[in-house]
């Protein structure tokens, strides 16, 4: 029983960590550009597939480092080519645009890498369990959690201490003022989109090592990520972080007592939050609502 | 009128001609569609999607609020009708009532949680609610058939006492039945939009803050508009179940929501008949692409992107702009 609880708890942490990575990227883009990126799951898949292509040349470690950067560049290009045209328009257009983009990217992955699932080789040392008792906790799982912690820490440091990061935070609060102070808002939004794509790409490489690759691997993560943002509160990255971990762990713990309800509990948490605290756990009243 | 509002369905001469053309074409579908290589069931599909999209457009085009989860109410309408036919009684009108009530009431309740949200946040919450319904239909195997969808029901002939309409076997008759329901529903929508209530919706769309200062209960109106839109969408969903004798969990999925939005935008979201035109385009595209290629996702996605970037007004919107210029 203890092992079962531990197993599901670690599972929940890992799933929650993925929700966090995805949701933070989505949240960054929503906060600054007011665009809900439906294709975010497809950026995750692209990150994973790029790692698959790079692994023979760079090895797993090299791919893990390079692939998120390539995904970020890809996101930057997509933002410049497509997304920036809809900022000034009704939100419905950005939703439709990224929705269509998701379809295109998914079919593109299928076309380039084939429709069947592919494995991403991870170093042997990572596939060993940490102790014989806890045979279900491989070093890879520990590694994933560590990488996510480092990435999230890095993101918050980036937003707090770098010039671009500070501008992104300022733009989230009041884009007009930031623009009036002479900041190139168009460029800022592109960088911001690239940062979001970077996080998706990183999540893609990590996920590929655990569950392998398939063209719609991001689809299952996108909805919980939305909910993580709603639960945490739109406009607050800390809220998103909290929301992602909360629903990840809650659904894993539900698996222990009532497996069929694992997904339902996510939606129940959302409904409760909307009922009791409509702005989300850490959302500010009046922001983006 | 001194300053004709570009968006209002103005009671000028042209709309009458437009109405005449639309209804003449719809009423004669069984005559001309086979000549173009189509089939009558296709026209039924157009009407169902058009009704769903026009209902959705009451919200998007005429209240200025966007939902990206209308598939939920469409799908609930379909499941409600299917379950009623399968387990309660073999009665088509009862099934439609059940479907409409199921989807409409669900929408009304969700709407209560929604109305204070705006913009992207509103859209995100509607998406999430849509997925709740999808998830329930998908998981509740015993009742809904899970992934395979709900089967094992057929639409029943309608007994009017003096004559029995065999809509179960006669495809053309069923088309006219759908057309009748479509006509009644759309006529009701036009009445609602032309009523004082409908006008306040336009006011909210144009300037929510000003509407609020004028003393309009903005939240309550948006909630009402959302609920009405959901009831009509659910009606469309119940027709969809009758059309296919099948209710599909994918009909509840956010991809279906995207399709409804797409139909509306492609046809023209600020025009009353735009979604009907969009539905024609959409069904043609769907038929063509699925027969031509297995890479349908790419082509559908491409259409979305191109429409958003280059034809954001939709077909009817472009025609209207041209007529005004």
Nearest C-alpha neighbor of A37 from the set A113, A110, A112, A105 = A105
* Cα–Cα distance, B45 to B56 (Å, whole number): 16
A127 neighbors B318 (Cβ within 8 angstroms)? no
Q: Report the distance separating Cα A77 and Cα B95, nearest Å.
A: 50
Q: What angle do CA A225, A226, A229 make, to 5 degrees?
A: 90
Question: Where is pLDDT greater, at B258 or B30?
Answer: B258
pLDDT tens readout for residues B302-315: 988 998 898 888 88
Neighbours of A224 (CB within 10 A): 27
Tell me: pLDDT of A258 over 50.
yes
Cβ partners under 8 Å of residue B86, min gap 6? B150, B152, B153
**Interacting residues of A3 by C-beta distance below 8 A, sequence separation 6+:** A134, A136
pLDDT tens column, A10-26: 888 888 888 899 999 99
The model's pLDDT over A189-229, given as tens digits with 9 standing for 90+, comes to 999 999 999 999 999 999 888 888 988 888 888 888 988 98
Is the Cβ pair B125, A288 closer than 8 Å? no
Per-residue pLDDT of B91-129, as tens digits, reads: 888 888 999 999 999 999 989 888 877 777 888 888 888
Give the pLDDT score at A288: 44
The alpha helices in chain B, defined as continuous H runs, are 13-27, 29-32, 40-60, 71-83, 92-114, 119-139, 141-144, 171-194, 196-206, 208-213, 218-244, 254-267, 274-292, 296-310, 314-324
Can you tell me the distance from the alpha carbon of B11 to that of B272, in angstroms, rounded to the nearest whole number? 13
**Residues pairing with B150 in the sheet:** B247
**Residue of B130 and B34 predicted with greater confidence:** B130
Enumerate the domain spans of chain B. 38-257
Q: Which residue, B62, B103, B112, is CA-closest to B81?
A: B103
First-last CA distance in chain A: 44
The pLDDT tens digits for B45-59 are 899 999 999 999 999
Does pLDDT of A287 surpass 70?
no
From chain A, pick out residues whose CB is under 8 angstroms from the CB of B123.
Answer: 36, 91-92, 95
Q: Lowest-pLDDT range, A1-10, A214-223, A270-279?
A: A1-10
Tell me which chain A residues have a C-beta less than 8 angstroms from the C-beta of B298. 103-104, 107-108, 111
Q: Pick the more confident residue, A189 or B9.
A: A189
Does ipTM surpass 0.90 in this model?
no
Vertex B68, ends B322 and A75: CA angle to 5°?
Answer: 85
Residue B159: strand, helix, or coil? strand
Count the residues in chain A. 289
Cα nearest neighbour of B110 on chain A: A271
Q: How confident is the model at residue A51 (pLDDT cuts 50, 70, 90)?
A: very high
Percent of chain A whose pLDDT exceeds 90: 34
Q: State the best of B60, B114, B301, B312 to mutate against chain A, taking most chain A CBs within 10 Å.
A: B301
> In 3D, which of A49, A101, A84, A41 has the Cα closest to residue A70?
A49
Q: What is the DSSP string of A245-272?
A: HHHHHHHHHHHHH-GGGTTHHHHHHHHH
What are the structure tokens assigned to B218, written together?
């903005």
- Residue pair A136/A142 in contact (Cβ under 8 Å)? The answer is no
Contact B96, B181 (CB under 8 A): yes
> Which tokens hold the place of B31?
């005559």
Task: Please state, in angstroms and rounded to a whole number, the distance separating the CA atoms of residues A192 and B241.
Answer: 44
Contact A230 B269 (CB under 8 A): no
Q: How confident is the model at residue B14 (pLDDT cuts 50, 70, 90)?
A: low
Contact assignment for B305 to A97 by CB distance below 8 Å: yes
Query: What is the average pLDDT across A27-37?
Result: 89
The 10 Å Cβ neighbour count of residue B7 is 15
Q: What is the pLDDT of residues B214-238, one digit of tens each?
A: 888 888 999 999 999 999 999 999 9
Which residues on B lie below 8 Å from A288 (Cβ)?
A: 118-121
Model confidence pLDDT, tens digit, residues B107-117: 999 898 888 77
- Picking from B5-14, B84-93, B161-170, which range would have the lowest pLDDT averaged per residue? B5-14
For chain B, give the number of residues.
325
CA of A28 vs chain B CAs: smallest distance (Å) = 13
Contact residues, chain A to chain B, C-beta under 8 Å: 30, 34-36, 82, 85-86, 89-93, 95-97, 99-108, 110-111, 223, 226-227, 229-230, 234, 260, 263-264, 267, 270-271, 274-275, 278, 288-289
- Three-state secondary-structure class, residue A189: helix
Q: For residue B309, which residues of chain A lie inside 8 Å, CB to CB?
A: 82, 85, 97
Closest to A39 in 3D by CA, of A49, A29, A54? A29
Residues of B with a Cβ under 8 Å from any A Cβ are 60, 66, 68, 113, 116-121, 123-125, 127-128, 131-132, 135, 139, 254, 258, 261-262, 265, 269, 295, 297-298, 300-305, 307-309, 312
Give pLDDT, residue B119. Answer: 74
Does A40 have pLDDT greater than 50? yes
CB A139 within 8 A of CB A126: yes
Q: Which two tokens stand for residue B192?
A: 């609602």
Q: What is the pLDDT of residues B160-202, one digit of tens each?
A: 767 677 777 777 888 888 898 999 999 999 999 999 998 989 8
Per-residue pLDDT tens over the stretch A100-158: 999 999 999 989 998 888 888 777 777 777 777 766 777 888 888 899 999 999 999 99
Considering only A159-168, B116-125, B266-275, which range has the smallest mean pLDDT? B116-125
User: B224 φ, ψ to 5°?
Assistant: -60, -45
Residues in CB range of B160: below 8 A, 6 or more apart: none
Show me where the domains of chain A are located: 2-218
How is residue A252 written in tokens? 């894993």
As to burial, measured by CB atoms within 10 angstroms (0-12 exposed, 13-18 middle, 19+ buried), residue B183 is middle
CA quadruple B128, A11, A282, A199: dihedral sign: negative
């Amino acid at each position: 029983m203890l092992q079962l609880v531990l197993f599901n708890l670690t599972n929940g942490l890992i799933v929650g960590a993925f929700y966090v990575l995805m949701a933070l990227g989505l949240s960054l883009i929503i906060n600054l550009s007011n665009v809900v990126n439906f294709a975010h799951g497809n950026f995750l898949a692209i990150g994973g597939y790029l790692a698959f292509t790079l692994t023979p040349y760079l090895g797993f470690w090299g791919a893990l480092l390079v692939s998120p950067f390539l995904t970020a560049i890809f996101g930057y290009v997509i933002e410049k080519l497509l997304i920036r045209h809809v900022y000034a328009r009704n939100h419905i257009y950005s939703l439709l645009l990224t929705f269509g983009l998701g379809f295109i990217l998914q079919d593109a992955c299928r076309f380039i890498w084939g429709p069947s699932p592919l494995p991403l080789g991870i170093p042997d040392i990572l596939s060993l369990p940490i102790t014989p008792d806890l045979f279900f906790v491989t070093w890879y799982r520990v590694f994933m959690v560590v990488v996510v912690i480092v990435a999230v820490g890095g993101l918050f440091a980036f937003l707090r201490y770098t010039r671009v990061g500070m501008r992104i935070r300022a733009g989230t609060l009041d884009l007009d003022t930031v623009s009036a102070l002479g900041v190139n808002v168009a460029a800022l939004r592109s960088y911001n989109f690239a940062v979001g794509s970077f996080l998706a790409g990183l999540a893609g490489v990590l996920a590929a090592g655990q569950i392998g690759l398939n063209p719609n691997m991001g689809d299952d993560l996108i909805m919980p990520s939305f909910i993580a943002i709603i639960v945490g509160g739109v406009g607050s990255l800390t809220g998103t972080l909290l929301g992602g971990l909360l629903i990840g762990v809650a659904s894993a713990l539900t698996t222990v007592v009532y497996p069929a309800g694992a997904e339902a509990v996510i939606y129940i948490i959302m409904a409760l939050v909307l009922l009791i605290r409509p702005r989300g756990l850490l959302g500010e009243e009046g922001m983006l609502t | 009128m001194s300053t004709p509002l570009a968006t209002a369905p103005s009671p000028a001469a042209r709309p009458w001609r437009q109405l005449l053309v639309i209804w003449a074409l719809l009423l004669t579908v069984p005559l001309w569609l086979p000549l173009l290589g189509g089939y009558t069931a296709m026209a039924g599909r157009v009407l169902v999607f058009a009704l769903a999209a026009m209902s959705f457009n009451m919200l998007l085009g005429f209240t200025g609020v966007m939902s990206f989860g209308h598939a939920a109410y469409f799908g609930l309408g379909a499941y409600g009708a299917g379950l009623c036919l399968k387990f309660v009684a073999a009665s088509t009108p009862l099934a439609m009532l059940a479907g409409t009530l199921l989807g409409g009431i669900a929408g009304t309740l969700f709407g209560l949680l929604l109305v204070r949200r705006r913009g992207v946040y509103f859209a995100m919450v509607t998406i999430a609610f849509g997925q709740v319904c999808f998830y329930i239909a998908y998981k509740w195997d015993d009742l809904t058939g899970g992934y395979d969808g709900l089967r094992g029901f057929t639409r029943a002939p309608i007994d009017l006492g003096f004559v029995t309409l065999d809509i179960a076997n006669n495809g053309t008759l069923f088309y006219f039945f759908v057309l009748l329901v479509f006509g009644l529903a759309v006529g009701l929508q036009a009445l609602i939009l032309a009523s004082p209530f409908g006008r306040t919706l336009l006011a909210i769309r144009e300037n929510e803050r000003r509407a609020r200062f004028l003393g309009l209960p903005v939240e309550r109106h948006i909630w009402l508009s959302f609920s009405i839109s959901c009831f009509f969408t659910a009606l469309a969903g119940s027709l969809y179940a009758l059309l296919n004798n099948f209710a599909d969990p994918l009909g509840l999925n956010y991809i279906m929501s995207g399709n409804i939005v797409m139909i509306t935008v492609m046809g023209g979201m600020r025009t009353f008949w735009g979604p009907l035109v969009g539905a024609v385009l959409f069904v043609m595209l769907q038929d063509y692409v699925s027969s031509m290629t297995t890479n349908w996702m790419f082509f559908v996605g491409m259409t979305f992107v191109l429409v958003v970037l280059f034809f954001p007004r939709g077909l009817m919107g472009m025609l209207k702009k041209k007529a005004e210029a």
